Amino acid sequence: MSDRNLRIAAILVTLAGIGVAGYLTWAHFADQSVICVQGGGCEKVQESSYSEIAGIPVAVLGLASYLTVLALLVWDAPVARLSAATLAIVGVLFGAYLVVVQLFVIDAVCVWCMANDLVIGPALAVLTLLRLRS
């Protein structure tokens, strides 16, 4: 895949991340139930003590991270590429922690969080890392 296509793919994945994190952020501040699939536990996850860090909703951190990555992708200087990849890896690792928390601590699964932690975040990390080697 060419660098141009990798960059476009990374931007599209980042926009998906912004969509998910933005929706969860909105749901948090609007005190609204999130749309959840049968068998899910979106609200239990969203309401758990793990959904905030020092009073800041994890969804907000995610949204801020995706917006930062988007800005770095647009900037596209060498340091921006490296920073985007670094941030994406942080996201993947923290996402892995959140997956463990959902499965083994909260004992509930938020499909939106899982989509982010298992699909969007890792995809972004792979794409941004591939760009460093292309």
Restricting to residues 65-124, name those near other proteins by CB under 8 A. 76-79, 81-82, 85-87, 89-90, 93-94, 97, 107-108
Applying CB under 8 A, among 8, 9, 16, 43 the residue interacting with other proteins is 43
* Part in contact with other proteins (CB under 8 A); list of ranges 9-17, 24-32, 66-74, 111-119: 24-32
Residues 6+ apart with CB under 8 A from 106: 41, 44, 45, 48, 50
Token digits for 71? 């800005």
Indicate the burial class of 98 (C-beta count within 10 angstroms; 0-12, 13-18, 19 or more): buried
Site of tokens 């972004």: 124
Residue ranges binding other proteins (CB under 8 A): 3, 29-33, 36, 38-44, 46-47, 49-50, 52-55, 76-79, 81-82, 85-87, 89-90, 93-94, 97, 107-108, 129, 132-134
